[in-house]
Amino acid sequence: MDQKITTLAALTQHYRPQIEAELTRILDHESTEQTLQQSLRYSLLAGGKRIRPLLTLATLLTCDETITEERLQASVAVEMIHTYSLIHDDLPAMDDSDYRRGKLASHKQFGEAQAILTGDGLLTDAFSVLATSGLPANQIIELVDRLALAAGSRGMVAGQVIDMEATGLQLSLVELQDLDRKKTGALFHYSVLAGAIMANVTENQRQHLADFAGKFGLAFQIYDDLMDEQAGTDEDEGKNSYAHLLGRNQAQQVLQETIAEGESALDAVPHADLLRSFLTYFKG
Amino acid sequence: MDQKITTLAALTQHYRPQIEAELTRILDHESTEQTLQQSLRYSLLAGGKRIRPLLTLATLLTCDETITEERLQASVAVEMIHTYSLIHDDLPAMDDSDYRRGKLASHKQFGEAQAILTGDGLLTDAFSVLATSGLPANQIIELVDRLALAAGSRGMVAGQVIDMEATGLQLSLVELQDLDRKKTGALFHYSVLAGAIMANVTENQRQHLADFAGKFGLAFQIYDDLMDEQAGTDEDEGKNSYAHLLGRNQAQQVLQETIAEGESALDAVPHADLLRSFLTYFKG
């Protein structure tokens, strides 16, 4: 069955329900404190696309590995980190967004204090999910190290601080790329790397997968900026974005180039149709 | 040298400088983003008593173990978690405190958004510190698991939510103890447990040490409440506290009983003078 999955759509259809089930199972073992349990559930089961765990699973399948229970559990830790980052991003002191995924943001639904704590809880619990996954010890340790590095003050958190400081200023293209590599790219990079770590691939193979992850992350951000510009969100607040910096047409062109580079990065990876299909995400 | 340390004062004198040096070393490897580096440093090197890492080191020494570089590195992860929790606690949406350890709170010094992110960064990086400690793999995994459990949505974060919800309400003594076991007790319990894990003690010995940690944590909270009541802080805001619930005299009496129970828990632990001396902290 697994061998036949060669598209993001098929992967999503088969594995998203398993990811949802895994997140639900994890939540059942989380806090017995009722309102906290409620707010964890509210944000974590809000129906995201689960693109990060899907990237991990796709990398495993690309390396001809099976999706065991241990690997499925480990794959969702990054989704918990992603969800915490959205909750904290939406806070009044940060992006001050009232809505997320068509529902009230956590702080509008549960109040600011509980939203901060819910984010803190998800962030912390993600490491528990890795530690108790039952994977080989060396893999757990590398996953913990890489996830903390991607999400922490050398990764996503640094990207957020740079983004905040740059609001209202005009970044150069190089600066914007550095910002995005940290702010959104680091978790995508981790997601692919997590699959490579669990598949125990060669250093050479890992490098090709990392290159793909970097291009995927960059394409994701440009695409996201273009969507936001279309919807008319980010620009008012002086947020830096590719659409803003390059103009719509040139941003579109850089996106197409980045997609092509992502495809090239996979040339040296056998049976990479499934990972390649992730790039079609940006073509619609 | 290590064998001769039998008091908290001597331990502090010898090891606090090493803990400070370790935290400084870790910070040097953290974010290269300048303002984030500054706010991490501001809070993490603000001169706390370092009682949590000292508890870990004391447990190791009690078990006749030496303090290697690997163990020293691992011992400070809990201090990073503790520091993040103070930064987030002080936020306007939480306890709204303008000062911490005689300095402006992080959000007053760097703004709310950066304070949130600095807390997020410290929390995340703590797991990196464990993962890269160089300890045996099984110990790293157990430390990550236990720290995430103690700090996450079944531990400290749950305690915070309960505390928030109970503000203005009158808790029973049992409820207040449950709150404190999570809110402050969980990290103390972890701190002792971390020493026991690294010393690889018997299950029986671990239980005695855990009992001591539980009593220490409870005594710490009662003592803290009594100090706050004396300083006239918590009461106005309807915060639950032992001083408030039991009255000053009875809280004092419960504190003395708890100290005595902490001492008894150590009866079955050989050479426990050093750990016992931690209880003198509350006698002054």
> How confident is the model over A251-256, as a mean pLDDT?
95
User: What is the tens place of the pLDDT at every residue in B174-200?
Assistant: 999 999 999 999 999 999 999 999 999
- Distance from CA of residue A276 to its chain's centroid? 17
Percent of chain B surpassing pLDDT 90: 84
Distance from CA of A162 to the nearest CA of B (A): 7
- Confidence grade of residue A60 (pLDDT, cut at 50, 70, 90): very high
Reported as half-sphere exposure (CB side, CA atoms, 13 A), residue B22 has a value of 26
Of B4 and B174, the one with more pLDDT? B174
A127 touches B: beta carbon within 8 Å: yes
Which residues in chain A have Cβ-Cβ distances shorter than 8 Å to B117? 88, 157, 160-161, 164
Whether A283 has a pLDDT exceeding 90, the answer reads no
The reported pLDDT for the residue numbered A233 is 64
Q: Cβ contacts (< 8 Å) between A119 and chain B: which residues? A: 120
Closest CA to B218 of B254, B171, B165: B254
Give mean pLDDT, residues A22-43. Answer: 90
Residue B76 gets which letter from DSSP? T
A123 to chain B: closest CA residue: B124
Report the 10 Å Cβ neighbour count for B255: 23
Mean residue pLDDT across chain B: 93
- Structural fold of domain B2-282: Farnesyl Diphosphate Synthase (1.10.600)
Per-residue confidence band for A3, with pLDDT thresholds at 50, 70 and 90: low
pLDDT reported for residue B237: 66
User: B interface mutation test: which of A30, A81, A128, A182 has the most B CBs within 10 A?
Assistant: A128
Task: Work out how many CB contacts closer than 8 A connect A with B.
Answer: 165
Residue type, A9: A
Average confidence (pLDDT) over A162-169: 89
Identify the CA nearest to A150 among candidates B76, B44, B120, B86: B120
Nearest to A194 by CA among A140, A156, A157, A154: A140
pLDDT grade, residue A232 (50/70/90)? confident
Local confidence band at B2 (pLDDT 50, 70, 90 cut-offs): very low
Residue B239 has pLDDT above 90, yes or no: no
Does the pLDDT at position A151 exceed 90?
yes
Q: What pLDDT score does B230 carry?
A: 83
| Burial of B65: CB neighbours in 10 Å, binned 0-12, 13-18, 19+ | middle
Is the pLDDT score of B229 beyond 70?
Answer: yes
What pLDDT, on the 0 to 100 scale, is given for residue A234? 56
| pLDDT at B162 exceeding the cut of 50 | yes
Question: Hey, which residues 84-103 in chain A have their CB within 8 Å of chain B?
Answer: 84, 88, 91, 93-94
Q: Out of A94, A128, A158, name the one closest to residue B152 (CB).
A: A128
Q: Taking CB atoms and an 8 Å cutoff, what residues of chain A touch B32? A: 154, 158
B134: pLDDT confidence band, cut at 50, 70 and 90? very high
Q: How many CA atoms does the CB half-sphere of A42 hold within 13 Å? A: 23
CA atoms of B131 and B139, how far apart (whole Å) = 10
| Mean pLDDT, residues A20-43 | 91
Statement: residue B241 has pLDDT above 70: yes
Of B121, B145, B160, the CB nearest to A153: B121
pLDDT in tens, A71-98: 999 999 999 999 999 999 999 999 999 9
| DSSP-assigned beta bridge partners for residue B277 | none
Which parts of B45-168 fold into alpha helices (H)?
51-62, 69-75, 77-89, 106-110, 112-131, 137-151, 156-166
Q: pLDDT value at position A2? A: 47
Mean pLDDT of B17-41: 91
User: Looking only at Cα atoms, what is the longest distance across chain A?
Assistant: 51
With H, G, I as helix, E, B as strand and everything else as coil, classify residue B167.
coil
Q: Helix/strand/coil (H, E, C) string of chain A?
A: CHHHCCCHHHHHHHHHHHHHHHHHHHHHCCCCCHHHHHHHHHHHCCCCCCHHHHHHHHHHHHCCCCCCHHHHHHHCHHHHHHHHHHHHHCCCCCCCCCEECCEECHHHHHCHHHHHHHHHHHHHHHHHHHHCCCCCHHHHHHHHHHHHHHHCCCCHHHHHHHHHHHCCCCCCHHHHHHHHHHHHHHHHHHHHHHHHHHHCCCHHHHHHHHHHHHHHHHHHHHHHHHHHHHHCCHHHHCCCCHHHHHCHHHHHHHHHHHHHHHHHHCCCCCCCHHHHHHHHHHCC
CA gap A180, A29 in Å, rounded: 34
pLDDT at residue A237, as a whole number? 66
What tens digit of pLDDT does each residue of B108-120 get?
A: 999 999 999 999 9
All residues of chain A having their beta carbon less than 8 Å from the beta carbon of residue B116 are: 88, 91, 93-94, 116
Q: Which two tokens stand for residue B63?
A: 């078990």
Q: Where are the domains of chain A?
A: 2-282
Separation between Cα atoms, residue B223 and residue B280, nearest integer Å: 11
**Other CB atoms within 10 Å distance of the CB of residue B220:** 21
Nearest residue on chain B to A129, alpha-carbon basis: B145
B95: pLDDT strictly greater than 90: yes
- Output Rg (C-alpha) for chain B, integer angstroms: 18
Nearest by CB to B157, which of A32, A124, A140? A124
CB atoms within 10 A of CB B34: 11
Question: Which chain B residues are within 8 Å of A138, Cβ to Cβ?
Answer: 137
Confidence of residue A207 (pLDDT cuts 50, 70, 90): very high
Distance from CA of B148 to the nearest CA of A (A): 5
Asked if residue A52 lies in contact with residue A150, where contact means CB atoms within 8 angstroms, the answer is no
Strand partners, A100: A103
Selected residues 56-85 of chain A with any CB under 8 Å from a CB in chain B? 84
User: What residues of A are in contact with residue B33 (Cβ under 8 Å)?
Assistant: 153, 158, 161-162
Check residue A235 and give its pLDDT: 52
The residue with greater pLDDT, B238 or A39, is: A39
Give the residue from A32, A34, A89, A153 with the most B CB atoms within 10 Å of its CB, the best one to mutate.
A153
Q: Which of B84, B124, B165 sits opposite A148 (nearest CB)?
A: B124
**Residue A30 pLDDT exceeds 80:** no
- Secondary structure (3-state) at B99: strand
DSSP code of residue B90: T
Contact B131 A111 (CB under 8 A): no
Please report which confidence band the pLDDT of residue A119 belongs to, taking 50, 70 and 90 as the band edges: very high
Could you tell me which of A257, A235, A73 has the C-alpha nearest to residue A167? A235
- Please state, in angstroms and rounded to a whole number, the distance separating the CA atoms of residues A41 and A194: 25
Chain B interface mutation, best of A29, A84, A114, A123, highest count of B Cβ atoms under 10 Å: A123
Q: To the nearest 10°, the Cα dihedral for B38, B41, B42, B43?
A: 130
